[in-house]
């Protein structure tokens, strides 16, 4: 079965009444955790992005504190898990400024929590790719914001 295109779905949704749309949203939220998280973001957190960013940063800090640092394998696994959640939060916000801010915070945490980047080529590549993502996100922002964010980055 081939899924319908977004434009077809949009046209059909415009014809529906609000009760039907409410049912569709609730049904979507029941099926996947990420759908529920996106819906919660849109309803409760999208109005106050600075508070949202602060909550995400605290969550990142907490994950770094709880990270198992006994073995490089566990460090890599934890770092990749954190990046997946950061990328999800960035997708929710649809903002390059949010992306830059969260990735800068992540990279600073990598350095501040003394993660042995030089012991693992994969971790070093991961760190460097995040720096490239930060540069790409910053290139779309205003020069004053670029300067402020580059100043925050510990390299």
Count of the separate structural domains present in the chain: 1
Residue with tokens 């790719």: 129
Asked if the structure places residue 118 within a domain, the reply is yes
> Is 20 contained in some domain?
no
DSSP reduced 3-state for 95: coil
Query: What do you get for the CA distance between the two ends of the chain, in Å?
Result: 49
- 102 falls within a domain: yes
Q: Which of 18-32, 83-97, 128-142 has the lowest mean pLDDT?
A: 18-32
Confirm whether 1 is domain-assigned.
no
Q: Compute the Cα dihedral for 11, 29, 45, 135 and give only its sign.
A: negative
* Average pLDDT value for the chain: 92
155 pLDDT band (50/70/90 cuts)? Answer: low
106 inside domain = yes
117: region left, alpha or beta (phi > 0 left; psi from -120 to 50 alpha): alpha
Q: Which of 50, 148, 66, 146 is nearest to 109 (CA)?
A: 66
pLDDT band for 6, please (50, 70, 90 cuts). confident
Q: Is pLDDT above 90 for 2?
A: no
Residue 116 belongs to a domain? yes
Region 118-128 average pLDDT: 94
Residue 2 lies in a domain: no
pLDDT on residue 9 = 85
Please indicate, yes or no, if residue 68 is contained in any of the structural domains: yes
Task: Return all residues near 81 (Cβ < 8 A) that are at least 6 apart.
Answer: 63
Structure confidence by residue, pLDDT tens digits, 44-67: 999 999 999 999 999 999 999 999
Give the residue numbers spanning the domain of 96.
Answer: 48-152
CA pair distance 47, 115, nearest whole angstrom: 35
Q: What percent of the chain has pLDDT over 70?
A: 99
């Amino acid at each position: 079965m081939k899924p319908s295109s977004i434009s077809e779905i949009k046209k059909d949704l415009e014809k529906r009444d609000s009760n039907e749309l409410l049912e569709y949203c609730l049904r979507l939220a029941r099926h996947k955790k990420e759908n529920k998280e996106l819906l919660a973001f849109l309803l409760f957190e999208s109005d106050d992005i600075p508070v949202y960013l602060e909550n995400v940063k605290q969550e990142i800090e907490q994950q770094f504190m709880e990270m198992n640092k006994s073995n490089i394998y566990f460090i890599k696994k934890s770092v990749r898990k954190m990046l997946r959640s950061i990328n999800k939060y960035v997708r929710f916000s649809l903002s390059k400024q949010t992306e830059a801010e969260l990735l800068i915070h992540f990279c600073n945490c990598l350095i501040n929590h003394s993660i042995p980047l030089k012991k693992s080529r994969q971790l070093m590549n991961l760190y460097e790719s995040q720096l490239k993502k930060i540069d790409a996100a910053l290139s779309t922002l205003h020069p004053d914001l670029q300067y402020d964010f580059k100043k925050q980055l510990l390299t």
